[in-house]
A = this chain, B = another copy of it.
Amino acid sequence: MTEAVAGGADVSKLRELNSLSIVRAMRGRRPATVTELATRTGLSRPGTDVVVRGLVTDGWVKVVEPDGSSVGRPARRYRFNAGAGHVLGVDVGGHKILVLLADLDGTVLHRHRLPVASDADPAARLEAVDLAITQCLSAAGMRPEEIWAVTVGVTGPVDATGRTTLFTPLPGWASVSPAEHLADRFTCPILVENDCKLAAVAERWQGAAQDADDIVYLLAGMRTGAGLIIDGTLRRGFGGAAGEIGALKAVRWLSAPAHIENCPGVPEDIHPDDKAAWVFERVREGDRDAKAALRRYVKDLAVGAAALVLTLDPQVVVLGGGYSRSADLIIDPLTRELTRLCLRVPEIRASNLGADSVALGALRVALDQIDARLFGDGMPAPLALS
């Protein structure tokens, strides 16, 4: 670095760094004048002007025309062009594929959801993924080359090769590499990550835990799982298997959902996905069997939750997953159980992201990837299409 300052490449390098400073000073903020940007970055006003013009030419920055409301000739304002690039977040679930397409500000522009049979084999599931992506891109009028990063959420711990070889409930899916499959269509980086981990990222980004740095995300539904944010960072674990406390029989997560799903009185002809909603409805009506089922469920859920809380001592536990639509019925008894089992009980909050949380977390991880390339060291910035 020190040597390069004396060399010829130095000035262009400096200009590139200045470009990044200015882009960073613009992102997520209101349109700004050159003078304001010079103040924010500490660069000179003439230097800022040159760099901003270059960024406009390259498509990174848009001119915001004055609205004519001010007296005299108003200074021209500029904003970051969030539409310079796009990312995809893909949730490969047991029952659905959800694809979200967002700009560089993370604003979701298009979404596409396809149902998929829970017993679908890998080929059928990947076909549904392909179709959902095709339809989402088509709705956006976009080609795969215009996507800068893709993140795919899957069920089960994701190893260094992007596979769920250790464990996954998706039939036949253990050795599938979604990244290799999608590499036929996309030339951009493709990341694969565990669904609970992505949901945890989403809760800190846009959900119930935006103010917290130490977060346990609990997936409460037909499956039970967890994602961990410690000191503001998603924790994957040395082999990608952090948060898999549910695999320990002693904490009773494996058997917990059965209390709800097999509650006495559930109609035989009801769709499996609707059983829990039926039970929670009966709880609200005061049904004794449903209330007992919920009580037993929460007692089991609490043992694994207590193991996580006692291990990590988080600030917030976010209750997500399908059952969290009835979080108002779960949070109070869960808090009571944790008070009995733990030394210190964190705040328990309900997720408000619904079924989008995994795909939203995937978007955030894809955007982080781009930010690392833009603002991190050593990697070239992607070319902005103007």
Contacts and interface: CB of A to CB of B under 8 A. Distances in A.
Contact of A311 (B42, B157, B214, B311): B311
B310 A247 contact: yes
A314 interface: yes
Contact of A343 (B166, B251, B311, B313): B166
Nearest to A156: B343
A241 B342 CA distance: 10
A170 to B, nearest CB: 16
A346 interface: yes
Interface string A203-235: 000000000001000000000001010110101
Contacts of A306: 248
Interface string A231-249: 1010111111111111111
B245 A313 contact: no
B250 A250 contact: yes
Interface string A333-357: 0000000011110100000000000
B343 A241 contact: yes
Interface size class of A (residues with CB under 8 A): 35 or more
Contacts of A235: 230-231, 312
A238 B228 CA distance: 13
Interface string A305-317: 0111011111100
A375 interface: no
A231 B251 CA distance: 26
A214 B240 CA distance: 12
A37 interface: no
A12 interface: no
Given A42-B2, A251-B307, A238 B314 contact: yes
A313 B239 contact: yes
Nearest to A241: B313
A80 to B, nearest CB: 23
A226 to B, nearest CB: 8
- Say what secondary structure dominates the interface of chain A: loop
B313 A242 contact: yes
A297 to B, nearest CB: 16
A245 B307 contact: yes
Contact of A251 (B157, B233, B236, B250): B250
Copies in the complex: 2
A214 B237 contact: yes
A313 B160 CA distance: 13
Given A166-B344, A167-B343, A303 B248 contact: yes
Contacts of A308: 311
A31 B116 CA distance: 68
A306 B157 CA distance: 16
Nearest to A214: B238
A248 B166 contact: no
Nearest to A236: B313
Given A167-B343, A230-B235, A238-B313, 7 more contacts: A230-B230, A231-B231, A238-B314, A243-B311, A247-B342, A248-B307, A308-B311
28 contacts: A214-B237, A228-B311, A230-B235, A231-B233, A235-B312, A236-B313, A237-B312, A238-B346, A239-B313, A241-B310, A241-B313, A241-B343, A242-B311, A242-B312, A242-B313, A244-B310, A244-B311, A244-B343, A245-B307, A247-B342, A247-B343, A248-B306, A248-B341, A248-B342, A250-B251, A307-B307, A307-B311, A308-B311
The 8 closest A-B pairs by CB, nearest first: A237-B313, A241-B313, A238-B315, A242-B313, A239-B344, A307-B307, A166-B343, A245-B310
